[in-house]
Structure 1
Amino acid sequence: MDKIYIRDLEFIGYHGVFEEEKKLGQKFFVSLELTTNLREAGLNDDITKTTHYGEVAETVKKIFFQKKYDLIETLAEDIAREVLLNYPLINELKLEIKKPWAPVGIPLKYVSVEITRKWNEVYISLGTNMGNKKENLEKAIKEIANIKDTFIIKESEIIETEPFGYKEQDDFLNSCIGVKTLLAPREILKELLSIEKKMGRERKIKWGPRIIDLDIIFYDKEVIEEDDLVVPHPYMEYREFVLKPLEEIIPNFVHPLLLKRVSTLKKELENEKN
């Protein structure tokens, strides 16, 4: 991808933990590296096909002066969020804030923080086999759409499937959605667990009945292995109720560990069943 650089925007600000920093002020420099696609703008000499760096600079200025921050880490997060939300052609950004007059007590050039933030594509499997199943799915999707800095970009049809594992229960309704989000993996997991709890999810029987089940299948192409968060979702390649709706919305997505397309995984599972 291409880059736009905005280097060392200079401001006098009142950010810092010490009271003197909030009264006297000090110099700060803010730099951004914006990841985007400049091809169409370059070929057509068309400013509407690119990101106006002057407007980005004004956005940085607005956030910089909106309040007095204790931490430049928090200031960096707020600037990054505002830029990504307001300039849709920017896929990712790297942001550095330099603080040359930091009260360290030792001569230095500057103290700085640097963060990288971007839009992430997350694919979520939904399932339910209690109560009004269709309404459960619709409610869950509505709740996901209300998650901060998260937007639904793809949605599969609803399918009916037989229960997996524990058979003495009603059939399921399943679907998959894709979202675009600024949230980190653990943050999106927390939101999904909160929705499950809000809707009355109880974990009593393994693979048992549930009013709603929300699982992260893919988070970009990341591989995450933690005690309570494993991505891609383990054993998804054996579950038709995941693969069938997932193939509908991302057939050519390549599983980062198995190195196979979703459509290939679904076909292999169908062949095994036959």
Structure 2
Amino acid sequence: MTVCAYLALGSNLGDRADNLKQAIERLSQQPGVRVVRVSSVYETDPVGNVEQDAFLNMVIAVETEHTPEQLLDTALSIEQELGRVRTIRWGPRTIDIDVLLYGQERVQLEHLQIPHPELTKRAFVLVPLRDVWRDETLPIYNQPISIYLLSLLEDQKGVRKWGTIDWETESGPFEN
């Protein structure tokens, strides 16, 4: 069975745009994962109390045959391949890949929560998610992204449209 899942990607070390592109390419090369839509790329201020450079963030929609845990394992493996080192919480990173949503499922495990627990608190996730979301409302929250959820955020000014990643889905480039 194929499920539509949404993944957040972020990078603030090295060639940020290339890190995002490589993550998308590696995800697309995985058996049972097909990238179907990619958001624009947004430059965002870092979150947390760690001094670091700005991030590039985006969201992709994938169709997958993986279970939520398999999709997470795939994401973590790609992070490691691209040089991600986990030393400081919310610290600098070559790549970060988070599973935001997996169909309409809720998952509550020690190492995986879906929907992502920070989803409704982060403009750098909600703004690009709005780019790739096909429906009026998020099924789990039953609220429109563009109106309700974005209005909950205190500050969206730290999210600036940066550009796009040269990536082609089966339907063509940058299917936003």
Query: What TM-score, normalized by structure 1, do the two folds share?
Result: 0.54
Structure 2 residue 111 is matched with structure 1 residue 228 = yes
Partner of 2:61: 178
- The one of 138, 144, 158 aligned to 1:254: 138
Higher RCO, Cα 8 Å, sep 6+ = 2
Which whole-Å CA distance do the structure 1 matches of 2:61 and 2:8 have between them?
9
- Alpha-carbon shift at residue 267 of structure 1 (Å): 3.0
- Alpha-carbon shift at residue 261 of structure 1 (Å): 2.3
- Alpha-carbon shift at residue 179 of structure 1 (Å): 0.3
> For the structure 1 residues 138 and 232, does the alpha-carbon distance in structure 2 shift closer, same or farther, using more than 3 Å as the test?
same
- 5+ residue gaps, structure 2, are 157-176
Structure 2 residue 86 is matched with structure 1 residue 203 = yes
- Alpha-carbon shift at residue 167 of structure 1 (Å): 4.1
- The one of 149, 156, 161 aligned to 2:39: 156
CA contact under 8 A between 2:123 and 2:155: conserved in structure 1? no
- Alpha-carbon shift at residue 216 of structure 1 (Å): 0.3
Which whole-Å CA distance do the structure 2 matches of 1:226 and 1:153 have between them?
27
- Alpha-carbon shift at residue 245 of structure 1 (Å): 0.3
Which whole-Å CA distance do the structure 1 matches of 2:98 and 2:8 have between them?
5
CA contact under 8 A between 2:120 and 2:126: conserved in structure 1? yes
Which whole-Å CA distance do the structure 2 matches of 1:252 and 1:153 have between them?
18
Q: Which amino acid is the alignment partner of residue 139 of structure 1? A: Q
Give the match's secondary structure for 1:218.
Answer: strand
- The one of 155, 158, 171 aligned to 1:273: 155
Greater helix share, structure number: 1
- Within 5 Å, give how 1:112-191 maps onto structure 2: 118-191=1-74
Runs of 4+ in 1 over 6 A off after TM superposition: none
Which whole-Å CA distance do the structure 2 matches of 1:241 and 1:273 have between them?
10
Query: What TM-score, normalized by structure 2, do the two folds share?
Result: 0.83
CA contact under 8 A between 1:201 and 1:211: conserved in structure 2? yes
Which whole-Å CA distance do the structure 1 matches of 2:11 and 2:39 have between them?
15
- The one of 87, 99, 111 aligned to 1:216: 99
CA contact under 8 A between 1:196 and 1:212: conserved in structure 2? yes
- Alpha-carbon shift at residue 255 of structure 1 (Å): 4.6
- Alpha-carbon shift at residue 224 of structure 1 (Å): 0.3
- Alpha-carbon shift at residue 236 of structure 1 (Å): 1.2
Percent identical among aligned pairs is: 36
Task: Give the number of equivalent residue pairs.
Answer: 154
Which whole-Å CA distance do the structure 2 matches of 1:182 and 1:205 have between them?
32
Which whole-Å CA distance do the structure 2 matches of 1:194 and 1:253 have between them?
31
Which whole-Å CA distance do the structure 2 matches of 1:255 and 1:242 have between them?
17
CA RMSD for the aligned pairs? Answer: 1.4
Which whole-Å CA distance do the structure 2 matches of 1:237 and 1:161 have between them?
16
Q: Which amino acid is the alignment partner of residue 260 of structure 1? A: Q
Partner of 2:121: 238
Which whole-Å CA distance do the structure 2 matches of 1:238 and 1:119 have between them?
28
CA contact under 8 A between 2:44 and 2:56: conserved in structure 1? yes
Give the match's secondary structure for 1:179.
Answer: strand
Q: Deviations over 1:155-174 (max 9, x none)?
A: 00111000011340000000
Give the match's secondary structure for 1:195.
Answer: helix
Q: Which amino acid is the alignment partner of residue 14 of structure 2? A: G
